[in-house]
Copies of this chain bind each other. A is one copy, B any other.
């Protein structure tokens, strides 16, 4: 990534794997994962489908390259100032925003799970250590947080593209849910606000972590 363009010296005319992956990502984000075929991807470069098989062993490898491409865009979050818990919340919001930015990768991610590794993990674990966890526990609690956020994005993606849900205000993340036979009249029907729901999930989880620290401190 930081090196010189040594690998691109053959790119006077031919396609590079990177170009192909970038085109695949763009096309999938626009038309959906299922839509893209090797023939359509190849057509983007004016070549035949079989030409791609010189650069990639198969379609699976193309998809993995797309996931890796999006993963490389995940950089450390700008967290600003404030207590560790507040910065942790910003960190998790940053992760959600990233994973939502490429809808196709969310779909792919379930077959080729994104590795939230590298500098982001460092940042997250460091925040948990700052909060008061010893390194090994911080590492595992961080994994739990990642799973919660990633899982939330998965569910959110499914729900917001589902037939059971109609967008009330998609830009604001508000949807209406068609529930089957759960009509309790004492609870007024409110549209689903995924931003609000995410905040609830994150705040609850963080409160639980802080509570854990409080009780374990007491037991020492």
For this chain, the copies found in one complex come to: 2
Per-residue interface assignment for chain A, residues 184 to 205, with 1 indicating a CB less than 8 Å from any chain B CB and 0 otherwise: 1011101010000100110111
Known A-B contacts: A135-B186, A205-B205. Give 12 more (CB < 8 A): A110-B158, A111-B162, A118-B180, A118-B181, A118-B182, A136-B188, A141-B204, A148-B201, A204-B209, A207-B207, A208-B208, A208-B211
Asked whether A179 and B117 contact (CB < 8 A) given A135-B186, A152-B148, A197-B143, the answer is yes
Complex contacts, A211 vs chain B, CB 8 Å: 207-208, 210-211
Contact of A113 among B110, B158, B186, B206 (CB under 8 A): B158
Asked whether A109 and B187 contact (CB < 8 A) given A144-B201, A148-B152, A151-B151, the answer is no
CB distance from A145 to the nearest CB of B (A): 9
A112 in the interface (beta carbon within 8 A): yes
A139 touches B208 (CB 8 A): no
A159 in the interface (beta carbon within 8 A): yes
A157 in the interface (beta carbon within 8 A): yes
A107 in the interface (beta carbon within 8 A): yes
A30 in the interface (beta carbon within 8 A): no
B111 touches A158 (CB 8 A): yes
List 7 tightest A-B contacts by C-beta distance, closest first: A151-B151, A208-B208, A204-B208, A207-B208, A154-B154, A110-B158, A117-B182
- Closest-by-CB residue of B relative to A152 is B151
Complex contacts, A143 vs chain B, CB 8 Å: 192, 197
A163 touches B112 (CB 8 A): yes
Chain A residues within CB distance 8 Å of chain B: 107, 109-113, 115, 117-118, 121-122, 125, 135-136, 139-141, 143-144, 147-148, 150-159, 161-164, 179-182, 184, 186-188, 190, 192, 197, 200-201, 203-212
- Closest-by-CB residue of B relative to A107 is B110
Complex contacts, A136 vs chain B, CB 8 Å: 187-188
Contact of A201 among B121, B122, B147 (CB under 8 A): B147
In angstroms, Cα B155 to Cα A61, docked, is 21
Complex contacts, A135 vs chain B, CB 8 Å: 184, 186-187
